[in-house]
Amino acid sequence: MKSVRELRDLAWQRIKILLRLADNTIRSDEALARRYVELAFRIAAKARLRLPRSLKRRYCRRCKVPLVPGLTARVRIKGGEDGRLIVTCLRCGYVRRYPLRKRST
Ligand SMILES: [Zn+2]
């Protein structure tokens, strides 16, 4: 019987492998890359792992495609005092906005 910790470690290993496969496949086979991401996210949900934000941002939340600027994603910076990073998925049109700076006041 494995401990929860061990199971989570195992899940995490699998997720890392799957996401690496997805990154390596995106340019040759998008459908397959998406399958890898779906699988990785499903494992994470099952193991109740919280993926780091930096990692989650690299995949479309809606269609699960790896977001590669110029290929599957459009990245824009909206300047100004309250700058934002705008990432648009070119496959499903999902738009995400990230503040570039944390509010200081
Ligand atoms: Zn998408």
pLDDT more than 70, % of the chain: 96
* Tokens encoding 54: 């930096």
Position 32 in a domain: yes
Residue of 102 and 60 predicted with greater confidence:
60
Is residue 104 in a domain?
no
pLDDT of 91 over the 70 cut: yes
pLDDT average, residue stretch 94-100: 91
Q: What is the mean pLDDT of residues 28-45?
A: 97
Give the sign of the dihedral formed by CA 61, CA 67, CA 70, CA 71.
Answer: negative
Q: Are 15 and 59 in contact (CB under 8 A)?
A: no
Q: pTM for the complete prediction?
A: 0.85
Q: State the pLDDT at residue 46.
A: 93
Range of the domain at 55: 4-99
Q: What percent of the chain has pLDDT over 90?
A: 74
In this structure, which residues have their CB less than 5 angstroms from ion ligand 1? 60, 62-63, 89, 91-92, 94
Q: How far is the CA of 83 from the centre of ligand 1 (A)?
A: 23
> What's the CATH number where 43 sits?
1.20.5.420
Q: How far is the CA of 56 from the centre of ligand 1 (A)?
A: 13
Q: Does residue 105 form part of some domain?
A: no
Distance 88 CA to ligand 1 centre (A): 8
C-alpha to C-alpha distance for 97 and 105, rounded to whole angstroms = 20
Which pair of tokens denotes residue 39?
A: 């699988």
- The tally of domains found in the chain comes to 1
Supply the DSSP string of 9-30, one letter for each residue: HHHHHHHHHHHHHHHHHTTT-H
CA 64 to ligand 1 centroid distance, Å:
6
Average pLDDT over residues 73-86: 88
Q: Are 62 and 92 in contact (CB under 8 A)?
A: yes
Evaluate whether residue 73 is within a structural domain: yes
| Burial grade of 71 (CB within 10 A; 0-12, 13-18, 19 or more) | middle
